[in-house]
Amino acid sequence: MKVAAPNARQAPAAAPDAWLLRAAGAAVFVLLALYLGFPDKVYVFDGIMFSGVIERAVDEWRREVFNRRHLLFNPFVMGLRDALALVGLPTRAYVLIQRINAVFGLFGAAVYFRLLFRLTRDRALAALGAAALAVSFSYWSRATEGQVYMMMTFWALAAGACALSLAEEGTPTAAGLLGGSLVTGVLFHAADAALVPMAAAAVWAAWRGRRGRPAWWLAPALALGVAAPYALAFRLGDARSLFAFFSEAADVHATSGGGWSHLLGFFAGRGLPVADVLAASLLAVAACPWAARLPAVAGGGALAASLLGASVWLWRRRPARRAQLVILALWGGLFVVLDAFWHGGVYFWTVPCAAGIAVLALAAREAFESGPGLRPPTLCAGALAVACLGAWNFGEGILPQSKLENNVGYQRSLFVRDHTVASSWIILSGLGFPNAKVYLPYFAHRTREVLEYYLDRYPRLRALGLFSEFVRRNHQAGVPLYLLSDMVDDQAVIDKVQKTWGVSQQDVRNCFGPGRLLLMAQQDPLFRIFLFVPAEHADLLFAALSYSVLTESEMTRLKETAWALQEIGRGMSQSERRAVPRVMKETDYGAQLLYRGFVAYMNPESERAARERMKRYDQWQKTPDFHLRLGNLYQYLGLADEVRREWTIAYEGSRDPEVLANIKKLPR
């Protein structure tokens, strides 16, 4: 027996693949730093809309918790946000979604590494491919935004990995994991239903290879796994209503020219839009401005040619890889087809990007099949290329997206907030400033009405009638109506409305009736805010705006609203001015007008909050400052007696000598 010499030190045996663990740890740190450190400030439309629902900040949030196209997303984030709030970690919904996406982006890269390793049996090559996906522009953007598409991508990556596993092993476990990831993916975003043909190909490949029993049971399991949650969430009691629901959710209408009929007609008429596909394929990989059309198409063409060449070479030279090629083609290709009629844009291109990288990695591995793997110089060149891609995407895409000053729509929403009263409607066309449809409620905390929604949902005459009724109802309630410049004189919007719905600018003006516009504020020549003053019910508008002046604390908004009241007063006859104090008193100085105007849109929580504000308003009316401001309002109307009465009450409560001096200056 050998005995170790005393005091001799034995070096510990190096753990196998220790370098891989260190590299994985470094990758986790780097990716989380990139994803969490530079969240996008683009504030995408749907993400803001979902955030309002998740925070229960919009009145109709109960109706929107379960969305037809991403059933589990809102409840999942809402539950997590509520749980964090219970342990003292309140978080804005959009920020929470971004952090969730960063984590899912990290997990997705890990799943993709596993997928590539299954294909190539080369850890270095798999790590290189996973890094390329992680820093590709589409994937990186999904991991930093507040949208649902990162979760869609993660479950699509998981389903792709499970499909390849099933094709290779044919075990019930692999089939179950594929079914579970596919069902979960569809419930988080219905676009993952495009992966069903891939799952069928995996089952077929396992059956052809005599690897266990065919997992045909996956079909009814998938159908039940998707249909049951939808039936419970939307209370669908029979097969017919369930089918009608899914048809509507997928926009599958054979007679409307949308959905499947649109897709078939599109292909029959002019085929797949090749230029759009090529440009989108480049944008999925590298940040590239869409304005640079020719370079985008050329770059996408080069990528497509490389991918096609690798696929043909593999198909001819490696017949054993054909099943995997079919699975990869269905995995990524059907998302490209889906984008042709569901218009997901770059959001659907993360999976095609992953499929393309997988094909190229597989071709690279097969080209060096005789050796242990890619040689170090080749790996170094690949790593340098991935690093350059990441640096380009960071500088040209991710960094600009992370700067709030680059979000013009956000700046405009704050401008609207600063130059309109809280209890009002902001009316916009929906075409000139599309993000304002969600930015105004979420960031500016202003209610908005969108002409586009009327014209898009109803026939022309009915749409105009309903919009006119909305305007008339608010005129009668005295609710202020602000118009953005796209409703007034944006010629591009006017032409588009005329071309799309046959509605002229005069048709829109007729909906408002007789009246005039006051220019309240201008951020730039393209973005202005107008207040509509109706010829009738100007006294009610004066009373409603008075409520804001009586309660406002922000000086810019106070001065602008006071100016608007002066302009309204100048447009009144003497008898109309004399009637205003009576209207003011009868409506509790505008508070009751606004309550009646908005109560129909309030949920129970909003209504309770409104009643609490009215109670505080009643207490405010007992203060000297209230009567001082009320006297100022009457001064805009030239009602000296009413001014003297209110200022006298204010002086008796405050003993302010300046108020007394102003009283003495009033004409007798």
pLDDT in tens, 508-551: 999 999 999 999 999 999 999 999 999 999 999 999 999 999 99
pLDDT given at position 8:
44
Total-model pTM? 0.85
pLDDT given at position 292:
59
Helix (H, G, I), strand (E, B) or coil at 136: coil
pLDDT given at position 290:
54
∠ at Cα 190 (186, 192), nearest 5°?
A: 60
List, as one string, the DSSP characters of 216-251. Answer: TTHHHHHHHHHHHHHHHHHT--SHHHHHHHHHHHTT
d(C-alpha 575, C-alpha 445), whole Å: 37
One-letter amino acid for residue 381 of the chain: A
pLDDT given at position 256:
39
CA-CA distances (angstroms) from residue 262 to 192, 257, 343, 344, 435?
20, 5, 12, 15, 26
d(C-alpha 416, C-alpha 316), whole Å: 62
The token pair that represents 553 in the structure block: 């604390």
Beta-carbon contacts of 276 under 8 Å, excluding residues fewer than 6 positions away, are: none
214 contacts 206 by C-beta, under 8 angstroms: yes
> Which residue, among 175, 196, 170, 169, has the nearest Cα to 185 in the 3D structure?
196
In sign, the C-alpha dihedral spanning 281, 282, 288, 289 is negative
Coarse DSSP helix, strand, coil percentages of the chain, rounded to the nearest 5 percent: 70, 5, 25
pLDDT < 50 regions, the chain: 1-16, 252-261, 266, 268-271, 291
Residue with tokens 């890094």: 131
d(C-alpha 540, C-alpha 536), whole Å: 9
pLDDT given at position 326:
94
Beta-carbon contacts of 584 under 8 Å, excluding residues fewer than 6 positions away, are: 543, 546, 590, 630, 633
**Torsions phi, psi of 488, nearest 5?**
-110, -60
CA-CA distances (angstroms) from residue 170 to 12, 174, 202?
40, 7, 9
In sign, the C-alpha dihedral spanning 277, 281, 286, 287 is positive
Q: According to DSSP H, which parts of 286-395 are helical?
A: 293-317, 322-342, 350-367, 376-393
∠ at Cα 134 (133, 136), nearest 5°?
A: 60
650 contacts 625 by C-beta, under 8 angstroms: yes
280 contacts 345 by C-beta, under 8 angstroms: yes
User: With left for phi above 0 and alpha for psi between -120 and 50, is residue 639 left, alpha or beta?
Assistant: beta
Helix (H, G, I), strand (E, B) or coil at 426: strand
d(C-alpha 101, C-alpha 106), whole Å: 8
Q: 17-62: per-residue pLDDT in tens? A: 676 677 778 888 899 999 999 999 999 888 999 999 999 877 677 7
d(C-alpha 628, C-alpha 622), whole Å: 11
Helix (H, G, I), strand (E, B) or coil at 484: strand
C-alpha of 471 from chain center: 29
d(C-alpha 586, C-alpha 589), whole Å: 7
In sign, the C-alpha dihedral spanning 306, 310, 315, 321 is negative
User: With left for phi above 0 and alpha for psi between -120 and 50, is residue 405 left, alpha or beta?
Assistant: alpha
pLDDT given at position 345:
65
Return the number of other C-beta atoms located less than 10 Å from residue 414's C-beta. Answer: 13
If you count DSSP H runs as helices and E runs as strands, how many of each does the chain have, helices first? 33, 5
47 contacts 39 by C-beta, under 8 angstroms: no
∠ at Cα 261 (326, 218), nearest 5°?
A: 40
pLDDT given at position 13:
42
Q: Number of C-alpha atoms within 13 angstroms, CB side, residue 123? A: 8
pLDDT given at position 12:
45
Return the number of other C-beta atoms located less than 10 Å from residue 250's C-beta. Answer: 17
Q: Are strands 447-450 and 425-428 parallel, antiparallel or unpaired?
A: parallel
Strand order in the sheet with 481-484: 447-450, 425-428, 481-484, 527-534, 515-524
d(C-alpha 537, C-alpha 479), whole Å: 10
pLDDT given at position 224:
84
Helix (H, G, I), strand (E, B) or coil at 482: strand
> Which residue, among 68, 98, 142, 66, has the nearest Cα to 393 in the 3D structure?
142
pLDDT given at position 450:
96
665 contacts 656 by C-beta, under 8 angstroms: no
d(C-alpha 629, C-alpha 487), whole Å: 33
CA-CA distances (angstroms) from residue 618 to 547, 613, 625, 648?
12, 9, 13, 20
